[in-house]
Protein backbone atom coordinates (compact mmCIF):
# COMPACT_ATOMS: atom_id res chain seq x y z
CA UNK A 1 0.00 0.00 0.00
CA UNK A 2 1.30 3.42 -0.96
CA UNK A 3 1.51 6.09 1.71
CA UNK A 4 -0.31 9.40 1.08
CA UNK A 5 1.79 11.78 -1.01
CA UNK A 6 4.04 14.30 0.68
CA UNK A 7 3.22 17.77 -0.67
CA UNK A 8 5.92 20.45 -0.72
CA UNK A 9 6.12 24.04 -1.92
CA UNK A 10 8.96 24.91 -4.30
CA UNK A 11 9.31 28.72 -4.51
CA UNK A 12 10.94 30.77 -7.24
CA UNK A 13 13.90 33.05 -6.49
CA UNK A 14 14.99 36.47 -7.65
CA UNK A 15 18.53 37.72 -8.10
CA UNK A 16 18.59 41.18 -6.51
CA UNK A 17 21.78 41.68 -8.50
CA UNK A 18 24.11 39.35 -10.41
CA UNK A 19 27.76 40.18 -11.00
CA UNK A 20 30.21 38.02 -12.94
CA UNK A 21 33.58 38.37 -11.22
CA UNK A 22 35.69 35.95 -13.25
CA UNK A 23 35.94 32.56 -14.85
CA UNK A 24 37.53 29.32 -13.68
CA UNK A 25 39.91 27.22 -15.75
CA UNK A 26 37.13 24.68 -16.30
CA UNK A 27 34.92 27.33 -17.91
CA UNK A 28 32.52 27.91 -15.02
CA UNK A 29 31.80 31.56 -14.30
CA UNK A 30 32.34 33.01 -10.84
CA UNK A 31 29.36 34.98 -9.60
CA UNK A 32 28.22 37.20 -6.79
CA UNK A 33 24.52 37.66 -6.15
CA UNK A 34 21.84 37.89 -3.52
CA UNK A 35 19.13 35.26 -3.96
CA UNK A 36 15.77 35.86 -2.33
CA UNK A 37 12.83 33.40 -2.49
CA UNK A 38 9.39 34.64 -3.46
CA UNK A 39 5.83 33.42 -3.07
CA UNK A 40 5.45 32.39 -6.73
CA UNK A 41 5.91 28.63 -6.43
CA UNK A 42 5.51 25.16 -7.91
CA UNK A 43 3.94 22.31 -5.94
CA UNK A 44 5.79 19.00 -5.64
CA UNK A 45 3.93 15.82 -4.62
CA UNK A 46 6.02 12.78 -3.71
CA UNK A 47 4.93 9.21 -3.12
CA UNK A 48 7.41 6.54 -2.05
CA UNK A 49 6.89 3.31 -3.99
CA UNK A 50 6.93 -0.21 -2.63
CA UNK A 51 9.56 -2.92 -3.15
CA UNK A 52 7.90 -4.05 -6.35
CA UNK A 53 8.65 -0.68 -7.90
CA UNK A 54 12.01 -0.11 -6.23
CA UNK A 55 14.37 2.37 -7.87
CA UNK A 56 11.74 3.51 -10.38
CA UNK A 57 11.28 7.28 -10.76
CA UNK A 58 7.99 8.21 -12.41
CA UNK A 59 6.94 11.73 -13.40
CA UNK A 60 3.16 12.17 -13.41
CA UNK A 61 1.09 14.78 -15.30
CA UNK A 62 4.20 16.46 -16.70
CA UNK A 63 3.87 19.70 -18.70
CA UNK A 64 4.91 19.43 -22.38
CA UNK A 65 8.63 18.96 -22.81
CA UNK A 66 9.33 17.63 -19.32
CA UNK A 67 10.41 14.00 -19.02
CA UNK A 68 12.06 11.80 -16.40
CA UNK A 69 15.31 12.25 -18.33
CA UNK A 70 15.36 16.07 -18.45
CA UNK A 71 13.26 17.22 -15.49
CA UNK A 72 15.67 18.37 -12.80
CA UNK A 73 13.57 17.06 -9.93
CA UNK A 74 13.54 13.57 -11.44
CA UNK A 75 17.29 13.72 -12.03
CA UNK A 76 17.75 14.70 -8.40
CA UNK A 77 15.51 11.83 -7.29
CA UNK A 78 17.51 9.34 -9.32
CA UNK A 79 20.80 10.69 -7.94
CA UNK A 80 19.47 10.33 -4.39
CA UNK A 81 18.17 6.83 -5.13
CA UNK A 82 21.54 5.78 -6.55
CA UNK A 83 23.30 7.30 -3.54
CA UNK A 84 21.06 5.36 -1.15
CA UNK A 85 21.73 2.14 -3.02
CA UNK A 86 25.49 2.67 -3.09
CA UNK A 87 25.76 3.87 0.51
CA UNK A 88 23.47 1.48 2.34
CA UNK A 89 22.16 -0.98 -0.22
CA UNK A 90 18.73 0.65 0.02
CA UNK A 91 16.68 0.24 -3.15
CA UNK A 92 13.97 2.89 -3.26
CA UNK A 93 11.73 4.58 -5.80
CA UNK A 94 9.14 7.30 -6.06
CA UNK A 95 6.30 8.80 -8.01
CA UNK A 96 6.64 12.53 -8.55
CA UNK A 97 3.98 15.03 -9.56
CA UNK A 98 5.07 18.63 -10.13
CA UNK A 99 2.46 21.35 -10.62
CA UNK A 100 4.36 24.00 -12.58
CA UNK A 101 3.64 27.69 -12.03
CA UNK A 102 7.16 29.04 -12.36
CA UNK A 103 7.98 29.54 -16.05
CA UNK A 104 10.90 27.53 -17.42
CA UNK A 105 13.99 29.23 -18.80
CA UNK A 106 13.15 32.36 -16.86
CA UNK A 107 16.07 32.76 -14.44
CA UNK A 108 13.70 32.15 -11.53
CA UNK A 109 15.19 28.82 -10.45
CA UNK A 110 12.03 26.77 -10.91
CA UNK A 111 13.77 23.54 -11.88
CA UNK A 112 16.36 23.93 -9.11
CA UNK A 113 13.65 24.62 -6.53
CA UNK A 114 11.72 21.55 -7.68
CA UNK A 115 14.89 19.47 -7.36
CA UNK A 116 15.56 20.75 -3.84
CA UNK A 117 11.99 19.97 -2.77
CA UNK A 118 12.33 16.47 -4.22
CA UNK A 119 15.60 15.89 -2.34
CA UNK A 120 14.19 17.20 0.94
CA UNK A 121 10.98 15.21 0.58
CA UNK A 122 12.48 11.92 -0.52
CA UNK A 123 15.19 12.14 2.13
CA UNK A 124 12.31 12.26 4.60
CA UNK A 125 10.10 9.65 2.90
CA UNK A 126 12.93 7.19 2.40
CA UNK A 127 14.30 7.72 5.92
CA UNK A 128 17.83 8.37 4.68
CA UNK A 129 18.74 10.92 7.36
CA UNK A 130 21.06 12.96 5.11
CA UNK A 131 21.97 16.48 6.26
CA UNK A 132 21.34 19.58 4.15
CA UNK A 133 25.08 19.74 3.47
CA UNK A 134 25.11 16.15 2.21
CA UNK A 135 22.10 16.84 0.00
CA UNK A 136 23.78 19.99 -1.35
CA UNK A 137 26.94 18.06 -2.24
CA UNK A 138 24.81 15.54 -4.09
CA UNK A 139 22.85 18.28 -5.86
CA UNK A 140 25.57 20.71 -6.95
CA UNK A 141 26.66 18.68 -10.01
CA UNK A 142 23.02 18.78 -11.20
CA UNK A 143 22.53 22.53 -10.85
CA UNK A 144 24.42 25.37 -9.19
CA UNK A 145 21.25 26.95 -7.76
CA UNK A 146 19.97 23.84 -5.95
CA UNK A 147 22.06 24.33 -2.78
CA UNK A 148 20.37 27.69 -2.21
CA UNK A 149 16.93 26.06 -2.16
CA UNK A 150 18.21 23.51 0.36
CA UNK A 151 19.09 26.36 2.72
CA UNK A 152 17.12 28.59 5.04
CA UNK A 153 16.34 31.79 3.14
CA UNK A 154 17.85 34.84 1.40
CA UNK A 155 21.57 34.41 0.83
CA UNK A 156 24.63 36.08 -0.56
CA UNK A 157 25.82 33.63 -3.20
CA UNK A 158 29.37 33.42 -4.54
CA UNK A 159 31.59 31.06 -6.51
CA UNK A 160 29.54 28.98 -8.94
CA UNK A 161 26.63 28.99 -6.51
CA UNK A 162 28.06 26.75 -3.82
CA UNK A 163 29.24 29.47 -1.40
CA UNK A 164 26.22 30.71 0.55
CA UNK A 165 25.96 33.19 3.40
CA UNK A 166 22.60 34.09 4.99
CA UNK A 167 21.48 37.70 4.66
CA UNK A 168 18.41 39.60 5.77
CA UNK A 169 16.26 41.06 3.01
CA UNK A 170 13.21 43.17 3.93
CA UNK A 171 9.88 41.76 2.80
CA UNK A 172 8.67 43.54 -0.32
CA UNK A 173 5.88 43.16 -2.83
CA UNK A 174 7.03 42.52 -6.35
CA UNK A 175 5.65 42.04 -9.83
CA UNK A 176 7.27 39.35 -11.98
CA UNK A 177 6.68 38.93 -15.70
CA UNK A 178 7.89 36.60 -18.43
CA UNK A 179 8.33 37.46 -22.12
CA UNK A 180 6.98 34.08 -23.21
CA UNK A 181 10.38 33.01 -24.54
CA UNK A 182 13.03 31.14 -22.58
CA UNK A 183 16.60 32.38 -22.42
CA UNK A 184 19.20 29.66 -23.01
CA UNK A 185 21.66 29.96 -20.13
CA UNK A 186 24.62 28.62 -22.11
CA UNK A 187 24.00 31.05 -24.96
CA UNK A 188 23.73 34.00 -22.58
CA UNK A 189 26.96 33.15 -20.76
CA UNK A 190 28.76 32.59 -24.09
CA UNK A 191 27.86 36.06 -25.38
CA UNK A 192 30.64 38.62 -25.79
CA UNK A 193 28.31 41.17 -24.17
CA UNK A 194 28.61 39.54 -20.76
CA UNK A 195 30.68 41.57 -18.31
CA UNK A 196 33.13 39.10 -16.79
CA UNK A 197 35.31 41.28 -14.58
CA UNK A 198 33.03 42.97 -12.08
CA UNK A 199 34.93 43.62 -8.84
CA UNK A 200 34.22 41.08 -6.12
CA UNK A 201 32.37 42.78 -3.29
CA UNK A 202 30.96 41.13 -0.18
CA UNK A 203 28.62 43.77 1.12
CA UNK A 204 25.66 43.44 3.43
CA UNK A 205 22.58 45.58 3.88
CA UNK A 206 22.23 46.36 0.15
CA UNK A 207 19.43 48.62 -0.97
CA UNK A 208 17.20 46.50 -3.18
CA UNK A 209 18.21 48.45 -6.29
CA UNK A 210 21.97 48.11 -5.69
CA UNK A 211 24.21 46.73 -8.40
CA UNK A 212 22.97 45.30 -11.68
CA UNK A 213 22.81 42.14 -13.75
CA UNK A 214 25.92 41.53 -15.85
CA UNK A 215 24.00 39.09 -18.06
CA UNK A 216 21.11 41.36 -18.97
CA UNK A 217 22.59 43.04 -22.06
CA UNK A 218 23.49 39.65 -23.54
CA UNK A 219 20.06 38.19 -22.77
CA UNK A 220 18.28 41.17 -24.33
CA UNK A 221 20.31 40.73 -27.51
CA UNK A 222 19.54 37.00 -27.71
CA UNK A 223 15.87 37.37 -26.70
CA UNK A 224 14.54 40.68 -28.07
CA UNK A 225 11.23 40.08 -26.28
CA UNK A 226 13.00 40.92 -23.00
CA UNK A 227 13.53 44.50 -24.18
CA UNK A 228 9.90 44.74 -25.27
CA UNK A 229 8.76 43.49 -21.87
CA UNK A 230 11.05 46.02 -20.17
CA UNK A 231 9.37 48.82 -22.13
CA UNK A 232 5.99 47.59 -20.89
CA UNK A 233 7.28 47.79 -17.30
CA UNK A 234 8.64 51.28 -17.89
CA UNK A 235 5.38 52.47 -19.46
CA UNK A 236 3.75 51.61 -16.14
CA UNK A 237 6.31 53.64 -14.20
CA UNK A 238 8.35 50.64 -13.05
CA UNK A 239 12.10 50.02 -13.31
CA UNK A 240 12.57 46.35 -14.12
CA UNK A 241 15.57 44.13 -13.58
CA UNK A 242 16.27 40.70 -15.04
CA UNK A 243 16.58 37.68 -12.75
CA UNK A 244 19.41 35.22 -13.31
CA UNK A 245 20.26 34.64 -16.95
CA UNK A 246 16.71 35.59 -17.97
CA UNK A 247 14.25 35.87 -19.36
CA UNK A 248 11.94 37.02 -16.52
CA UNK A 249 11.91 40.61 -15.31
CA UNK A 250 10.78 41.94 -11.93
CA UNK A 251 10.15 45.24 -10.20
CA UNK A 252 9.43 46.07 -6.59
CA UNK A 253 6.13 47.77 -5.80
CA UNK A 254 4.92 49.95 -2.96
CA UNK A 255 2.45 47.37 -1.64
CA UNK A 256 0.48 44.25 -2.55
CA UNK A 257 -2.29 46.23 -4.27
CA UNK A 258 0.25 47.99 -6.49
CA UNK A 259 1.87 44.67 -7.38
CA UNK A 260 -1.50 43.17 -8.31
CA UNK A 261 -2.37 46.22 -10.38
CA UNK A 262 0.98 46.11 -12.21
CA UNK A 263 0.59 42.39 -12.91
CA UNK A 264 -2.91 43.01 -14.25
CA UNK A 265 -1.68 45.76 -16.55
CA UNK A 266 1.08 43.56 -17.93
CA UNK A 267 -1.30 40.64 -18.46
CA UNK A 268 -3.68 42.98 -20.30
CA UNK A 269 -0.82 43.68 -22.71
CA UNK A 270 -0.33 39.95 -23.26
CA UNK A 271 2.60 39.31 -20.91
CA UNK A 272 2.37 36.48 -18.33
CA UNK A 273 2.73 38.24 -14.98
CA UNK A 274 2.37 37.53 -11.26
CA UNK A 275 2.13 39.58 -8.09
CA UNK A 276 4.35 38.05 -5.41
CA UNK A 277 6.14 38.83 -2.16
CA UNK A 278 9.67 38.12 -1.03
CA UNK A 279 10.08 35.46 1.66
CA UNK A 280 12.30 35.68 4.71
CA UNK A 281 12.58 31.89 4.94
CA UNK A 282 12.32 28.98 2.55
CA UNK A 283 9.32 26.70 3.24
CA UNK A 284 11.45 23.77 4.40
CA UNK A 285 14.11 25.69 6.31
CA UNK A 286 15.44 23.80 9.32
CA UNK A 287 17.84 26.39 10.74
Q: Where are the alpha helices (DSSP H) in the chain?
A: 72-88, 110-125, 132-139, 146-149, 185-190, 216-222, 224-235, 256-268
Q: What are the φ/ψ torsions at residue 124 (nearest 5 degrees)?
A: -75, -50
Phi then psi dihedrals of residue 109, to 5 deg:
75, 20
Which residue among 13, 42, 114, 214 is the active-site one?
13
Is 145 considered catalytic here?
Answer: yes
Angstrom distance (rounded) from CA 259 to CA 273: 10
Radius of gyration of the chain (CA): 19
Strand partners, 270: none
Q: How far apart are CA 268 and CA 50, in angstroms?
A: 48
Cα–Cα distance for residue pair 136/154, rounded to 1 Å? 16
Residue 66 contacts residue 38 (beta carbons within 8 Å): no
Of 42, 145, 173, 214, which one is the catalytic site residue?
145
Which residues are catalytically annotated?
13, 145
Amino acid sequence: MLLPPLVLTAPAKLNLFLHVTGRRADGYHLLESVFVPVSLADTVELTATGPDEAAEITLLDAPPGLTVENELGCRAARALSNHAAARAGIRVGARIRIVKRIPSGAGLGGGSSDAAAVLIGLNRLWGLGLSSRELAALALPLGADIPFFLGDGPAFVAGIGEALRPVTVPARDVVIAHPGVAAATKAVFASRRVVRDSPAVERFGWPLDWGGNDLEAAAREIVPEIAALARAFEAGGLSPRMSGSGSALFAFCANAAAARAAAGQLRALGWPAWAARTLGRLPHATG
